């Protein structure tokens, strides 16, 4: 039985990694980015904005911002290629030329949608000289609402990540949380990228993304429907950095495995608490490596498997 559970968990993790995640190193030279129809672009599809280009080693702006217009270069993953859950992440590795300080933004997008003259969703952008912002796009060009900001900037090689779970938007730089806010305006949309070189900037490829990953968050496989009706298992936050809180059924057995099927943490049925905190450490108290782990929740109502992502 244990081998069957581990096999199901590993299969579930592979499914999550392949069925609702996407990654690219931008190995093609394209303007606009397409990668075989996988992207929606700001000018090609949205008309009022600009496209994203790739040069074989990264993704960059295809044009500078127009005077008096917020016509960023934007692209998001085409939902006809892959539709993402409402809970999702976008992540990229920064390319920034040595000493580059011209006015320029790189962006990660969450729950984004682009149609003719309408682009809406959440933009997380890093400016070369003014810091990090979370902004809500309202649809028409030039209609947006800054939600929160901080002075954190990005340098070459930084791994930047944005997540949205429910109404919570969280931003990480190299695995450390640097900004967060709440907004309930949009509940659907796609992850994407964007750029905004300020008017007159001709250095379009001096600030961009070396690679990009996007995926769905917070999905699970319920093996018996009774468990989901009782809402017996909750995992928040997920992904997590320092700790995650597990809301469990009374008398449940909790096992956490790595992707090789090794047991790394457990709580027995004698645990009377309905909430436990996992600090990302193994049975001996040693911090575990970043990566994906699998939780098995077993109670009298059934069993559930949930994927956990430890960021640091």
The verdict on whether omega for the bond into residue 237 sits within 30 degrees of 0, i.e. cis, is: yes
Residue of higher predicted confidence among 211 and 236: 211
- 99-114 residue pLDDT tens: 999 999 999 999 999 9
CA distance 36 to 27: 12
**203 in Cβ contact with 104 (< 8 Å):** yes
CATH number of 21-215: 2.60.120.560
Residue 220 confidence (pLDDT) above 60: no
**256 in Cβ contact with 240 (< 8 Å):** no
**295 in Cβ contact with 256 (< 8 Å):** yes
For the chain, domain boundaries: 2-12+219-310, 21-215
CATH number of 2-12+219-310: 2.60.40.3080
The two domains 2-12+219-310 and 21-215 share their CATH topology (first three levels equal): no
- 45-61 residue pLDDT tens: 999 999 999 999 999 99
- Mapped onto helix, strand or coil, the DSSP state of residue 300 is coil
């Amino acid at each position: 039985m244990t081998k069957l559970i581990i096999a199901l968990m590993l299969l579930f993790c592979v499914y999550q990694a392949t069925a609702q995640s996407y990654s690219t190193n931008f190995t093609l030279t394209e303007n606009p980015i397409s990668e075989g129809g996988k992207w929606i672009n700001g000018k090609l599809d949205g008309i009022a904005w600009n496209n994203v280009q790739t040069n074989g080693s990264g993704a960059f702006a295809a044009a500078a911002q127009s005077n008096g217009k917020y016509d960023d270069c934007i692209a998001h993953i085409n939902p006809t290629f892959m539709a993402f859950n409402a809970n999702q992440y976008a992540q990229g590795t920064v390319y920034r030329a040595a000493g580059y300080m011209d006015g320029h933004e790189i962006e990660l997008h969450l729950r984004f949608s682009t149609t003719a003259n309408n682009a809406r969703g959440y933009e997380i952008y890093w400016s070369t000289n003014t810091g990090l912002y979370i902004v809500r796009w309202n649809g028409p060009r030039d209609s947006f609402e800054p939600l929160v900001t901080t002075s954190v900037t990005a340098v070459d090689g930084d791994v930047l990540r944005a997540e949205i779970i429910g109404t919570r938007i969280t931003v990480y730089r190299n695995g450390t949380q640097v900004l967060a806010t709440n907004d309930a305006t949009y509940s659907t949309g796609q992850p994407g990228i964007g750029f905004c070189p300020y008017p007159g900037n001709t250095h379009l490829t001096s600030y961009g993304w070396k690679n990009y990953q996007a995926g769905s968050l917070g999905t699970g496989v319920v093996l018996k429907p009774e468990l989901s009706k009782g809402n017996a298992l909750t995992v928040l936050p997920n992904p997590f950095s320092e700790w995650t809180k597990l809301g469990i059924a009374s008398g449940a057995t909790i096992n956490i495995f790595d992707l090789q099927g090794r047991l790394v943490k457990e709580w027995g049925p004698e645990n009377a608490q309905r909430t436990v905190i996992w600090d990302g450490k193994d049975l001996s108290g040693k911090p575990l490596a970043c990566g994906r782990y699998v939780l098995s929740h077993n109670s009298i109502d059934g069993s559930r498997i949930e994927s956990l992502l430890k960021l640091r």
